[in-house]
Chain A
C-alpha cells in the first residue's frame, strides 16, 4: 500500500472519529445530566409528592401548588403571546408588502427582545405589571412577563411557518373566490400550523424553565393559588429556592427538577405528536 493511501486511510479514520465523537459527547452530556437528576431525585417522587403542599420550606411534603402555579403561569403566557405572535406573523407575511419598513422594524425589535437576558424581563415585569399596573406579585404578572419573553420565539416560528406555506395554496384559495381573511384563516393558518406548534414547543419549554423573570413577578409564595392575582411559586423557582436557600433541600430540589424535566418532555412530546399529526393529515408527496 502506498504512503498516500495510508495517509488517506488515517485521515478518514480521524474524520470518522470526529463525526461520531461530537454527537456522542452531546448525547453523553445529556445522559449524564438526566442520570444525575434521576439518581438523586427519583427516590423522593411518589403520588403524595405530586399531590400535597410542601412542608418545612420544601424539605417535606410535595409540590402540588408549584405544579398548579406553573400550569397557570405558562397558560397565561401562551394565551397572551400566541394570538399576538400569530397576528403579527400574519401582518408581516400576508398583509404588509415584503419591502415594508414597518415589517423590518417589527422584526428587528423582536430579535432584540429575543436576545434580552431574562432577568431584564423580570425587572421590566416587576416595574410594569406589578407596580405600574398594580397587579402586584401575582401569577398574572408572571404570566404576562413570560408572554413578553416567549413572544419573539413564537412570532419568529409563526412567521417562518407562514412564509413556508406554498404560494400555490395562497393563490389557490383566492382563485376559488375566498375572501382574503378566509383564505388566511381557513387555508394559510392551518397549512402553517405544524410550524407554529413547533415554535410553541420551544416557547413553552422556555416559559416552564424560567426562574429569573418570575422571581420578580409571580413571586415565591408556596401556597396553592386560589386566584390569578395570588402570588405563586413555579417548579423552576422552587428548584432554585430549594438548592440556594434551603439547607438540606437538595434531594427535594432534584426531585422537583426531575418532575419539571418530565413535564417538559411530556409537553414537547404531545406538541410534537400534534404537529406530526397535522403534517400527516395534509402530507404532500415530496
Chain B
C-alpha cells in the first residue's frame, strides 16, 4: 500500500495544494473543436474535491468531449483542439508538454461499455499496477483485494481470479473496470454513462457503488438518466446545444437544478418536456 501511494506521489507534479475553497477542477471558457467543427464552447465549471458532479443533457452536446479533456483522452481524436483554461489542483491540463501518462493515473476513466481486457481477472488488475512500477507480488495482491472489496466484487470472484474476465456478467465486468481504475488511487474518477449498457439490477449495484466511492475520489459522471443524477450527484451541470455548439446552460446543486432551476431549458429538461 505504502508502495502504491509512493508511486502515485511520484507521478504527481508539484503544485500548491488547494485549500477547501479552491475547486479541484477548474474550467474557464473551455472549447473543443474537431477539425473545423466546434463541438463545445465556452464551458466554465468548478468541481469540488470529494464531490460527485453529474453532467446531464441530451446526446451530442459535448459532455463526453468535456470528460475527455479532463484526462486528455481527447488527444486520441485526430485534429482535436482544446482551448481555454482547465486546471486540476492548479496544474494546467491543456499544457501540451503535460505528462499525460501521469495525468491518466491521477484521473481514471470508466467507459460506457465495460471494457475488461480479454485476460484473466487477476491479469486485468495486475497490469496497471505493474505498469505503475509495483514490482513485488504481495503489495499487488493486497491492492487487488482492497479494490475488489471496494467494488463489492471480492466475495464473488476471489476463488476464480484466474478465470477469464470476459466470462463475468456485464455488471461484474463494469465493477471490475472500476476496481481496475481504483488500483492507482486516482484523485478523480470520470464515468461516461457507466450504467447505460447494464441491466437495471447491475446498474443499481454500480450506482450504489458510486456513492461509496465518494470518500476516496472526486467523481464526474455523464448520465442520461436524470433519476440517477438526482440519486448519486451533489452537483449537476446541464449541457445543451446552442447554435450547434454544446455548452453549459445551468449548473448548481442537485436541489437547485431539479427543484429551483433558473433556466427555462433546465426546467423543461428536468420535467422531461424536452430532450
Contact = CB atoms under 8 A, between A and B. Distances in A.
Contact of B71 (A168, A175, A178): A175
A176 B115 CA distance: 12
Given A176-B180, A186-B127, A191 B101 contact: no
A140 to B, nearest CB: 38
A191 B111 contact: no
Given A175-B73, A176-B131, A285 B101 contact: no
The contact size tier of chain B is 20 to 34
Contacts of A83: none
Nearest to A186: B127
B4 to A, nearest CB: 13
B73 A174 contact: yes
Interface in A157-175: 166, 168-169, 171-175
Contacts of B103: 177
A179 interface: yes
Interface string B97-111: 000011111001101
Contacts, number: 82
Interface string A262-286: 0000000000000000001111110
Given A281-B120, A283-B118, A172 B132 contact: no
A55 interface: no
Contact of A175 (B11, B102, B109): B109
B118 A191 contact: yes
Interface in A177-225: 177-179, 182, 186-187, 190-191
Contact of A282 (B11, B105, B127, B165): B165
A190 B111 CA distance: 21
B101 A171 contact: no
Interface of A: 97, 166, 168-169, 171-179, 182, 186-187, 190-191, 280-285
10 contacts: A168-B115, A175-B108, A175-B109, A177-B104, A178-B101, A178-B131, A179-B101, A186-B127, A283-B118, A285-B167
9 smallest CB-CB distances across A and B, nearest first, come from A282-B118, A168-B115, A284-B166, A177-B105, A177-B104, A175-B109, A172-B115, A176-B128, A283-B164
